[in-house]
Amino acid sequence: MKLKRAPEYRRLLLRTRPKRYVNLFRTIYERRCRSIVEIGTWNGVHAEEMIRTAAAHSDIRSVRYSGFDLFEDLTDEQSSSNSPSAPHLSSGSRAAGANRRLIRGNTRDTLPRATEILRNADLVFIDGGHSIETIAADWMAIRDVMGPATTVVFDDYYPNAGPELAGLGCHSLIDQLDPGAYAVEVLEPTDEFEQSWGALRVRMARVTLVRST
Ligand SMILES: C[S@@+](CC[C@H](N)C(=O)[O-])C[C@H]1O[C@@H](n2cnc3c(N)ncnc32)[C@H](O)[C@@H]1O
Residues 152-176 pLDDT 10s: 999 999 999 999 999 999 999 999 9
**97 pLDDT more than 70:** yes
Ligand 1 pocket test: pick from 20, 23, 42, 111 the residue with the most ligand atoms within 8 Å of its Cβ: 42
Beta sheet of 151-157, edge-to-edge order: 99-104, 64-69, 35-39, 123-126, 151-157, 198-209, 182-195
**86 pLDDT more than 50:** yes
Lowest mean pLDDT among 74-78, 154-158, 200-204: 74-78
**41 pLDDT more than 70:** yes
**22 pLDDT more than 60:** yes
Compute, in angstroms, the gap from residue 148 CA to the centroid of ligand 1. Answer: 26
Domain coordinates of the chain in residue numbers?
5-209
Pocket residues for ligand 1 (CB within 6 Å)?
38, 40, 42, 45-46, 68-70, 106-107, 127-129, 134
Compute, in angstroms, the gap from residue 211 CA to the centroid of ligand 1. Answer: 31
Compute, in angstroms, the gap from residue 32 CA to the centroid of ligand 1. Answer: 25
Averaged over 23-51, what is the pLDDT? 97
Averaged over 94-118, what is the pLDDT? 95
Separation in Å, CA 95 to CA 52, 144, 153, 191: 6, 30, 21, 27
What pLDDT score does 146 carry?
A: 97
CATH architecture of 5-209: 3-Layer(aba) Sandwich (3.40)
**52 pLDDT more than 80:** yes
